[in-house]
Amino acid sequence: MSDNATKAYETMLEQKGGDPVAGEWFEISQERINDFADATLDHQFIHIDPERAAQTPFGGTIAHGFLTLSMLVHLSTTLPEVGPQHEGVLMGVNYGMNKVRFVSPVPAGSRVRATAAVKEVELKGNAVDMTRTMTVEIEGADKPALVAEWIGRTVFA
């Protein structure tokens, strides 16, 4: 166990149970949805065919749920830094998800942002696992697009 990991764990633990912090708004364009469809080979009409999608209860095309989930990487980079910078960081890795729910569809052209709240912090040898409850909000919508428990692992020297 490294001293850097222990110190980081102690400061990260102070964030547990705090208020969520919000990032910046980001537009999910039809072009981005089309590019995601091409990358994943998921060309379901509700994502890429505005005319057919307009005939559905969605009223138009919507982003893939997994596109919304994938956008957490970018959306999380716009979150304000909470707490001090940590010494001896070797790397950060995406450790996984505990729970993901796609609550509401994201219409093409909508703006979304992430909010994050620290749910759990665990010291794992020379690493610290932080589980954050991530919520992707849709601008002007009553319900979020997505709620997920995301685990990030920071490895220390």
Structural domains present in the chain: 3-156 (3.10.129.10)
- Give the Å distances, CA to CA, from 143 to 5, 23, 100, 106, 157: 37, 17, 15, 11, 41
Please list the rounded mean pLDDT of every run of 10 residues in the chain (157 residues): 89 92 98 98 98 98 98 96 84 96 98 98 96 98 98 96
Token readout for 100 is: 């993901």
**pLDDT at site 2:** 79
**pLDDT at site 1:** 64
Tell me the three state secondary structure of residue 78.
Answer: coil
**pLDDT at site 114:** 98
pTM of the predicted protein model: 0.91
Question: What residues contact residue 65 under an 8 Å CB cut-off, 6+ apart?
Answer: 102, 146
Q: Which residue in the block uniquely carries the two structure tokens 């980001």? A: 26
Cα separation of 22 and 117, whole Å? 9
Token readout for 96 is: 């996984």
